[in-house]
């Protein structure tokens, strides 16, 4: 069921965690926590060449969707957002004015280009 925001795209909020494999190594694991329906909007960005003549792309976005209760263990430090086949680092998850039901979530993001992994090094 969709609320007041509606939107034109779906995005998955992915929780990042580390699990220990059979030989004791720590391996990254991703788990889709919730699918959100809303709008992805670009806030700013740049595409330039670095000192080593490698072209880099970096932009900031905001994903706006209806408010949903997120698990308590979700924070910007342990999640990323998948939207339109691209991965975004989550910078901040905001519930404007803390209004809960009937309000909205604003998820501030950073896209760094390429096939970046959700897992943060």
pLDDT tens track for 70-89: 999 899 999 999 998 889 99
pLDDT number for residue 18: 85
Residues 6+ apart with CB under 8 A from 107: 13, 36, 62, 63, 64, 65, 81, 90, 92, 93, 94
- CATH for 9-111 is 2.40.10
| Regions of the chain short of the pLDDT cut 70 | 1-6, 45-57, 99-102, 112-121
The encoded tokens of residue 65 equal 């969707």
Torsion sign across C-alpha atoms 110, 57, 118, 7: positive
pLDDT number for residue 85: 87
Q: Where are the domains of the chain?
A: 9-111
């Amino acid at each position: 069921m969709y609320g007041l925001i509606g939107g034109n795209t779906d995005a998955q909020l992915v929780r990042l965690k580390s699990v220990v494999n059979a030989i004791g190594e720590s391996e990254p694991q991703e788990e889709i926590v919730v699918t959100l329906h809303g709008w992805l909007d670009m806030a700013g960005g740049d595409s330039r060449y670095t000192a080593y003549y490698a072209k880099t792309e970096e932009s900031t976005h905001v994903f706006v969707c209806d408010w949903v209760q997120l698990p308590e263990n979700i924070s910007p430090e342990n999640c990323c957002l998948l939207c339109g086949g691209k991965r975004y680092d989550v910078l901040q998850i905001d519930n404007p004015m803390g209004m809960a039901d009937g309000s909205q979530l604003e998820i501030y993001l950073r896209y760094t280009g390429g096939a970046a992994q959700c897992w943060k090094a």
